C-alpha cells in the first residue's frame, strides 16, 4: 500500500524516532546522525552520534516541526564513552525520563537515564548507567494500569549476542540457521523509573503454530528496534529485521508475550535498515521511521519520515511500501557514479 509520506526535519540528519503524545502535542525523540569519516562496518562504528534534539508539533502531516535544540550531549554524561544511539522518553509523576544507550569507556553499550521537568528538556543524566543494563534500543511502554515496561536489544553492533540470561558471555554467540532466534528483552521499571524492577526476560515470538522463530527466518525474526503499542485490547510488538530491512510485528495478550508473528508493517527503505515508532494522535495512527534518500543513500546519514498507518477489520496492520523501485534504482546509479568518480580521481 502506497501512503503519503512527509520528511520532518529536512535540514538535519535525524533517525530512530521515538514518538509520544505529551500535553496534547506530538514529541519526537530521534538519534542524531553526524558525518564521522569512519569507514562503514557492521558494528556501526561509522555512526558519530553525540547529542539528542527534541521536536514537537500539533499537526503531523502539515504543521510546523519545532526544534527544541540539543537536550542532552555525550560530554555531559559522567560515564560516557561514545555513540548515543536511539532513545525513548516516558512520563510519570510530573517528570520526564529519557532512556538512552551509550558505550561506556570500555566500549560496552549500557543504558542510562536522564530526567527533565518538561517533555522538551533539557535532560539531566544520572551519575551511572542502569544496573544490569546492556545492549541498545530502549523503548518504554506504559500500560493501562500505570506500569512501565522497557524493551531493548539489538544484534551485531548492538551487542545483544554477547549476553545470555542477562550475563556477559566469554565469547559472543550469534545463533544461525535452525537455532532459535535471539530475542529482544523486556523488564518492568521500578517505581522511581530509574532501574529495572526485575530481571529482564526474553520477548518470545512464535509463528501461528506456536513454533519459535528461528535465526534463519531472517525476513521476520527480531534484529533490533523494539516498539510496543496497544490496539483494541491487544499488545503489538513491532521491530526491525535488520539485515533484511523489514519492519514487522507480532501480537500478544500482555506486555511480556508470547507474541504471534503477523506480518510486515513497512517494506525496505533506502538505507541499511529502519527504526520506527507507532502512535495514535487525533483519532489517526501514524508510523514514524527514517530513510536515507535525502543524503543520496548514505546509510549513516538518515532523515525522519512519517505516514499514516491503518488496520483492517481484524486488527491486521496494512503493509506500507517503503521506497519504490524506481527511486532505489536512481539512488543506486547516483551512488555508483559517485564511487566511480572518486576511484578515477584516486587513480
User: Which residues are marked as active site?
Assistant: 16, 224
- Cα 269 to Cα 239, 276, 292, 334, 337, distances in angstroms: 15, 12, 8, 16, 21
CA proximity to 274, closest of 309, 299, 311, 249 = 299
* Dist. CA 343–CA 237, nearest whole Å: 44
194: which residues sit within 8 A by CB, 6+ positions away? 97, 113, 126, 130
Counted residue by residue, the chain has a size of 347
Q: Per the structure block, which three cell numbers stand in for 177?
A: 540457521
Q: How many helices (H) and strands (E) does the chain have?
A: 1, 24
Calpha distance 341→347 (Å, rounded): 10
Amino acid at each position: 500500500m502506497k501512503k503519503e509520506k512527509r520528511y520532518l526535519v529536512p535540514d538535519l540528519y535525524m533517525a530512530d524516532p521515538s514518538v509520544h503524545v505529551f500535553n496534547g502535542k506530538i514529541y519526537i525523540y530521534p538519534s542524531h546522525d553526524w558525518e564521522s569519516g569512519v569507514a562503514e562496518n557492521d558494528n556501526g562504528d561509522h555512526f558519530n552520534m553525540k547529542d539528542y534534539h527534541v521536536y514537537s508539533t500539533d499537526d503531523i502531516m502539515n504543521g510546523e516541526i519545532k526544534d527544541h535544540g540539543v537536550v542532552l550531549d555525550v560530554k555531559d554524561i559522567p560515564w560516557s564513552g561514545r555513540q548515543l544511539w536511539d532513545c525513548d522518553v516516558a512520563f510519570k509523576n510530573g517528570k520526564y525520563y529519557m532512556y538512552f544507550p551509550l558505550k561506556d569507556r570500555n566500549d560496552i553499550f549500557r543504558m542510562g537515564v536522564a530526567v527533565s521537568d518538561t517533555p522538551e528538556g533539557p535532560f539531566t543524566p544520572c551519575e551511572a548507567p542502569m544496573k544490569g543494563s546492556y545492549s541498545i534500543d530502549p523503548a518504554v511502554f506504559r500500560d493501562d494500569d500505570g506500569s512501565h515496561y522497557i524493551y531493548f536489544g539489538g544484534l551485531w553492533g548492538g551487542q545483544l549476542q554477547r549476553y545470555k540470561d542477562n550475563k556477559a558471555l566469554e565469547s559472543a554467540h550469534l545463533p544461525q540457521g535452525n537455532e532459535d532466534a535471539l530475542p529482544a528483552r523486556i523488564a518492568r521499571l521500578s517505581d522511581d523509573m530509574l532501574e529495572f524492577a526485575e530481571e529482564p526476560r526474553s520477548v518470545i515470538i512464535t509463528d501461528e503454530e506456536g513454533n519459535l522463530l528461528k535465526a534463519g527466518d531472517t525476513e521476520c525474526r527480531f534484529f533490533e528496534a523494539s516498539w510496543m503499542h496497544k490496539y483494541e485490547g491487544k499488545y503489538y510488538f513491532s521491530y526491525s529485521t535488520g539485515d533484511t530491512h523489514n519492519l514487522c510485528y507480532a501480537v500478544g495478550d500482555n506486555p511480556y508475550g508470547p507474541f504471534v508473528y503477523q506480518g510486515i508493517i513497512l517494506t525496505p527503505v533506502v538505507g541499511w535498515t529502519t527504526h520506527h515508532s507507532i502512535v495514535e494522535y487525533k483519532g489517526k495512527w501514524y508510523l514514524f521511521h527514517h530513510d536515507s534518500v535525502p543524503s543520496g543513500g548514505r546509510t549513516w546519514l538518515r532523515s525522519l519520515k512519517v505516514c499514516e498507518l491503518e488496520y483492517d477489520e481484524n486488527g491486521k496492520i496494512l503493509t506500507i511500501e517503503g521506497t519504490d523501485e524506481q527511486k532505489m534504482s536512481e539512488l543506486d546509479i547516483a551512488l555508483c557514479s559517485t564511487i566511480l568518480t572518486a576511484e578515477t580521481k584516486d587513480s
